Amino acid sequence: MTTNTGTAPSHETRPIPPRVLERLRERDDAGRVREGFTDGEGGAPLRCCLRRSRVGERLVLVSYAPLRGWALERGVDPGPYDEVGPVFVHARPCAGPDGTGYPRRTHGPLRALRAYGADGRILGGRAVELPEERAGEVDGILAEVFAEPGVALVHVRAVVFGCFLAEVRPLR
Q: SS3 breakdown of the chain: % helix, strand, coil, rounded to 5?
A: 25, 30, 45
Say how many domains are in the chain: 1
Domain-embedded: residue 1: no
Domain-embedded: residue 41: yes
130-155 pLDDT tens trace: 777 777 788 889 999 999 999 999 99
What does the alpha-carbon distance between residue 115 and residue 129 come to, in Å, rounded to a whole number? Answer: 17
Residue numbers of the domain that contains 23? 11-170
25-35 pLDDT tens trace: 999 999 999 99
In the predicted structure, residue 1 carries a pLDDT above the cut 80: no
